[in-house]
Structure 1
Amino acid sequence: MLLFSLLDWLDFKSIFLFIFVFLLVVDFQKRRNPPNFPPGPWGLPFVGNVDAGFNHRVMNKLAAEFGNIFSVHWGRDKVVVVSGYKLAKEALVTQGDCFLDRNISPLFDKVFKGNGLSTSNGYKWRRQRHFSINHLKNFGEGKRTLELHIQLESNFLCQAFQQEEGPFNPQHIINNAVANVIGSLVYGKRFDYDAADFQNLLQRMQQTLLLAGTQQAQLYDALPWLFQYLSGPHEIIYSNYGMLTSFLKRQIEKHKRDWDPFNHRDFIDAYIGEIDKKKNDAEAGFNIENLVICTLDLFEAGTETMTTTLRWLLLYMMKYPEIQEKVQEEIDRVIGQSRQPCLSDRANMPYTEAVIHETQRLRSILPLNVPRLCNKDTYVGGYFIPQGTTLLVNLSSVLHDWTMWETPHRFNPQHFLDENGCFRKREAFYPFSVGRRMCLGEQLARMELFLFFTALLQRFSISPVPGQEVSFDTQGNVILGPKPFHICVKDR
């Protein structure tokens, strides 16, 4: 009776106001930071700091205001952002075991479902990563097979460049070449550069990564309970991933039909064999569903990052023709014009290596590392990081850290050369991240960059379109690439 009397006394507006205030108090209590938690900006109720956006430019501004370790609220998640070499190393190396897990993104969980190499955790991730690393060693890095595939694809790439008449956009040609290398490793097949269906697939993949970095897609991650019922880029992302996974499933079905247990041609063959070996170890996750996602991981990561880096290299060669000439002089001296570049040349070409590394450093194509999840209470930079907190490392800030690089914001290959002109490694060179979760394809990437880049500059001189300035305007947030541009090539 008392309840009904209270309801009669209160009007609708009062009830609504009471519920709103109650939820506001609950949200405030939930968002209260523990003692000694990294400082950060105030966020809006219920949604946190989603109004600021989530990209490396925003993170750099916040780091300038709050320091190299700060916190933001992204929807319901507490996110600690780390910048600079010192703190990045502490988080990813010294405290690396505390941040091994991935924070599952609502946007991508619908596709990956905790499978694959990038989003799995725990025992499943360790077994999948161990298997994939061994495959790379057995099929490429430990043998000469993969080098031969890259050299063969370099020929096709140079032929495609030579067939272009007048200025052209090199993106699709390079993307196809790089995709064919990872394709030879994953499903043992290459596609011609004029294969319309495959070109459409690659364009869909590029579109997906561009859309994933938009603010609308980021809002879906922060507020999935709201945006999953609204139209937006997530619909295109899911459609594109549906096309990609269908393509990979077809490759897997073909492999299952003619699989030979004594002759593993590629990653899919080897994985099918591992499914049988691990049939009594369900937690290891060796099954067809996981095979689809692992091949998707390898195909996506191994294509877009290399394509973007090679495009940046071409832009820098156009911007700095004197550097291009020095690379070509080294190519002519070490390799000449009578044979293809090979990996053994790399040790004798420090300037070329320095140019490649400097491009990776300055452009920082993966500016924000893939988010991690703290699996136990720990401390970073003297601040308390409780279990369940998301960690984000700003790799761009490491690659531009003024305490580690002499001219952090200028293209300067001397960063990777000593006083004698020999190549030198730099401890703050983190384009592939660092620690146990670092990119497992680093060695493959380095092979591709060297062989493709030297093959192109051995055959051609690259120049901008007459009358056009070389632009370094960027697009994307997940992968930071140049906006579309055209080049001119001249046979040497």
Structure 2
Amino acid sequence: MELWETLLLLLTVCISASVLLSAWSQTAKRRQLPPGPAPLPILGNLLELRAYNILTFFKELRDRYGPVFTIHLGPRRVVVLYGYEVVKEALVDHAEAFSGRGHLATVDDFVQGLGIAFANGERWRQLRRFTLSTLRNFGMGRHSIEERIQEEAHFLLEEIRKTEGSAFDPTFFLSRSVSNVICSIVFGRRFDYQDQGFLTLLAKINENFVGMSGASGQLYEMFSWIMKFLPGSHQQLFRNLNDICDFVSERVQVNKASLDPDNPRDFIDCFLIQIEKESKNPSSEFHLKTMVMTILNLFVAGTETVSSTLRFGLLILMKYPEVQAKVFQEIDAVIGKNRLPAVESRAQMPYTDAVIHEIQRFSDVIPMNLPHALTKTMQFRGYTLPEGTNVFPLLTSVLKDPGSFPEPEKFNPGHFLDEEGRFKKNDAFMPFSAGKRICVGANLARMELFIFLTALLQNFTLRSPVDPQDLDLTPPLSGFANIPPTYQLCALPR
């Protein structure tokens, strides 16, 4: 045999052995992980996923493998948790181990782990402590947070009165009002509803939520390593993020130029003061970049999640006028017509409280949750989950868990009422997630939903230009977010 033939044979044997060893190694690793469909090289489980929307795919895999299973989104391996019991066990009972933030490719390259929502380790702990403390104590200056929401509710009512009962799309009516609440906290000011720059920003935020939930956004989550270099609609997501970031950076510079450390006006001032306070601390995570990304996180999340929930809520109330009628009765009895709703009234309004909870449960705005990651290797339900493993604790599987909510696909305020009509808590109500990564703005969002919805129903009857039976509550897109359907409503003065 010629020398080159011998070398070629040895090379072929070595390559074959390496491939077999790699395949064996991957199989051995998978044996320690939860079960799941076998992945193809590079493509992962993409071919199976194409036959479903991703949430339906997860439900089918739960039926096949149980509440804990492994999938491969392209080359990316993810463990999925499906159902209230297993999500609660992970996020609450093993809160520290599941407190890492996993990869979200559509934002990872941009935020670089700097903002509160996407940070890990000591950076996340410092930012979370500071943000929670600042939001909790934000009675500073002229307004408490509740007063800011009430003020914005007044502007929203005035804007809707201008429609004089004619049909309109409520999308940007709601997002302007909701965003102005977080703007007043973060930037120390609200924006006029006709401000074109403000409207453009809201459109970009909305466009990103839609884009992340569509086919292009979901493919990017699997193949970002190649798609980031390719043209396509996903590139618009990053242009939008850059524009929003530029806006935040400009506001930071305005505050920096006029900062009075003894009289902080807003969240930016508080952060700038903290940066100066820790300027000699080498382990401090308080820097301009972390501030900009944290504000970006608060601004985007504080705008779109609550406004999407409200959009779903108004559509649901038009479809079920009998629910509207019961809320009217409670508002009239407890609040009356002559004062804006206040959070203290909520305890006296169990039916309205139940309706708002059910709107949140049913609309299921962030069904997949933000991805988590293991902070250490651990045994979980008989499987070995290595440190760094990405985990999807699916909120939709909790909010639609039939063991916690009978007939979960139906809108029913009775899910949150006892036999005497009193409000009833449900541990599976997790629209803000749970454990150490629960949304920092959860309390603010609860206040906004109550005040905005009750203020609208205190003043208007919501009617659809089409027969309520023809209203479709199905999200047109369902992925990272459940996107509310586009619709028209008529607000008739009460």
Question: Which of the five TM-score ranges fits, normalised by the shorter chain?
Answer: over 0.9
CA contact (8 A) 2:67 2:81 kept: yes
Separation in structure 1 between the aligned mates of residue 405 and residue 106 of structure 2, nearest angstrom: 36
Deviates further, 75-84 or 481-490 = 75-84
Q: What is residue 483 of structure 1 aligned with on the other side?
A: 485
Asked if residue 44 in structure 1 is aligned to residue 44 in structure 2, the reply is: no
The AA in structure 1 aligned to 2:240 is N
Q: What is residue 269 of structure 1 aligned with on the other side?
A: 269
How far is the alpha carbon of 1:32 from its aligned partner? 4.4
Asked if residue 368 in structure 1 is aligned to residue 364 in structure 2, the reply is: no
Q: What is residue 93 of structure 2 aligned with on the other side?
A: 94
CA contact (8 A) 2:41 2:75 kept: no
CA contact (8 A) 1:27 1:45 kept: no
Separation in structure 1 between the aligned mates of residue 104 and residue 412 of structure 2, nearest angstrom: 37
Separation in structure 2 between the aligned mates of residue 445 and residue 363 of structure 1, nearest angstrom: 15
- Distance 1:395-1:20 versus aligned 2 partners, 3 A rule: farther
Deviates further, 269-278 or 404-413 = 404-413
Separation in structure 2 between the aligned mates of residue 215 and residue 284 of structure 1, nearest angstrom: 39
Name the SS of the counterpart of 2:392 in structure 1: strand
Which stretches in structure 1 are left out of the alignment for 5+ residues? none
- Distance 1:17-1:62 versus aligned 2 partners, 3 A rule: farther
- Distance 1:20-1:346 versus aligned 2 partners, 3 A rule: farther
RMSD: 2.5
Asked if residue 139 in structure 1 is aligned to residue 138 in structure 2, the reply is: yes
Q: What is residue 473 of structure 1 aligned with on the other side?
A: 474
| Pairs within 5 Å for 1:55-454 | 55-140=54-139, 145-165=144-164, 166-454=166-454
Separation in structure 1 between the aligned mates of residue 12 and residue 212 of structure 2, nearest angstrom: 36
Separation in structure 1 between the aligned mates of residue 489 and residue 257 of structure 2, nearest angstrom: 44
How far is the alpha carbon of 1:402 from its aligned partner? 1.3
The AA in structure 1 aligned to 2:34 is P
Deviates further, 161-170 or 224-233 = 224-233
Deviates further, 432-441 or 418-427 = 418-427
Name the SS of the counterpart of 1:431 in structure 2: coil
Separation in structure 2 between the aligned mates of residue 480 and residue 79 of structure 1, nearest angstrom: 21
Q: What is residue 29 of structure 2 aligned with on the other side?
A: 33
What are the superposed Cα offsets for residues 75-118 of structure 1, whole Å, 9 maximum, x if unpaired?
33321111111111111011111111112334322211111111
Separation in structure 2 between the aligned mates of residue 132 and residue 199 of structure 1, nearest angstrom: 26
- Distance 1:106-1:325 versus aligned 2 partners, 3 A rule: closer
Name the SS of the counterpart of 2:302 in structure 1: helix
Separation in structure 2 between the aligned mates of residue 202 and residue 45 of structure 1, nearest angstrom: 40
The AA in structure 2 aligned to 1:176 is R
How far is the alpha carbon of 1:27 from its aligned partner? 5.8
Deviates further, 220-229 or 260-269 = 220-229
What are the superposed Cα offsets for residues 362-409 of structure 1, whole Å, 9 maximum, x if unpaired?
221111111111122212233222222111111111111111123322
Separation in structure 2 between the aligned mates of residue 133 and residue 355 of structure 1, nearest angstrom: 28
How far is the alpha carbon of 1:339 from its aligned partner? 1.1
- Distance 1:230-1:180 versus aligned 2 partners, 3 A rule: same
Name the SS of the counterpart of 1:98 in structure 2: coil
CA contact (8 A) 1:209 1:479 kept: yes
How far is the alpha carbon of 1:222 from its aligned partner? 2.2
Identity %: 38
How far is the alpha carbon of 1:22 from its aligned partner? 5.6
How far is the alpha carbon of 1:225 from its aligned partner? 2.8
The AA in structure 1 aligned to 2:493 is D
What are the superposed Cα offsets for residues 332-376 of structure 1, whole Å, 9 maximum, x if unpaired?
000111111111111111110000001111221111111111122
- Distance 1:154-1:17 versus aligned 2 partners, 3 A rule: farther
How far is the alpha carbon of 1:467 from its aligned partner? 4.8
Name the SS of the counterpart of 1:72 in structure 2: strand
Which stretches in structure 2 are left out of the alignment for 5+ residues? none
The AA in structure 1 aligned to 2:33 is F
Name the SS of the counterpart of 2:436 in structure 1: coil
How far is the alpha carbon of 1:25 from its aligned partner? 6.0
Name the SS of the counterpart of 2:175 in structure 1: helix
Separation in structure 2 between the aligned mates of residue 68 and residue 383 of structure 1, nearest angstrom: 12
Name the SS of the counterpart of 1:310 in structure 2: helix
Separation in structure 2 between the aligned mates of residue 316 and residue 16 of structure 1, nearest angstrom: 64
Separation in structure 1 between the aligned mates of residue 225 and residue 87 of structure 2, nearest angstrom: 32
The AA in structure 2 aligned to 1:483 is P
- Distance 1:31-1:439 versus aligned 2 partners, 3 A rule: farther
Separation in structure 2 between the aligned mates of residue 152 and residue 471 of structure 1, nearest angstrom: 32
How far is the alpha carbon of 1:192 from its aligned partner? 1.5
The AA in structure 2 aligned to 1:254 is V
The AA in structure 2 aligned to 1:446 is R
- Distance 1:35-1:44 versus aligned 2 partners, 3 A rule: closer
- Distance 1:143-1:252 versus aligned 2 partners, 3 A rule: closer
Separation in structure 2 between the aligned mates of residue 140 and residue 320 of structure 1, nearest angstrom: 38
Name the SS of the counterpart of 1:139 in structure 2: coil
- Distance 1:258-1:141 versus aligned 2 partners, 3 A rule: closer
CA contact (8 A) 2:395 2:433 kept: yes
Separation in structure 1 between the aligned mates of residue 222 and residue 490 of structure 2, nearest angstrom: 43
How far is the alpha carbon of 1:183 from its aligned partner? 0.3
Separation in structure 1 between the aligned mates of residue 428 and residue 249 of structure 2, nearest angstrom: 39
Deviates further, 20-29 or 295-304 = 20-29
- Distance 1:382-1:398 versus aligned 2 partners, 3 A rule: same
CA contact (8 A) 2:169 2:488 kept: yes
What are the superposed Cα offsets for residues 302-328 of structure 1, whole Å, 9 maximum, x if unpaired?
111100110111011101101101001
- Distance 1:294-1:123 versus aligned 2 partners, 3 A rule: same
Separation in structure 2 between the aligned mates of residue 210 and residue 309 of structure 1, nearest angstrom: 14
How far is the alpha carbon of 1:196 from its aligned partner? 1.4
- Distance 1:19-1:205 versus aligned 2 partners, 3 A rule: farther
CA contact (8 A) 2:103 2:390 kept: no
The AA in structure 1 aligned to 2:202 is L
Deviates further, 230-239 or 143-152 = 143-152
What are the superposed Cα offsets for residues 420-439 of structure 1, whole Å, 9 maximum, x if unpaired?
22112111111111101111
Name the SS of the counterpart of 2:437 in structure 1: coil
The AA in structure 1 aligned to 2:80 is V
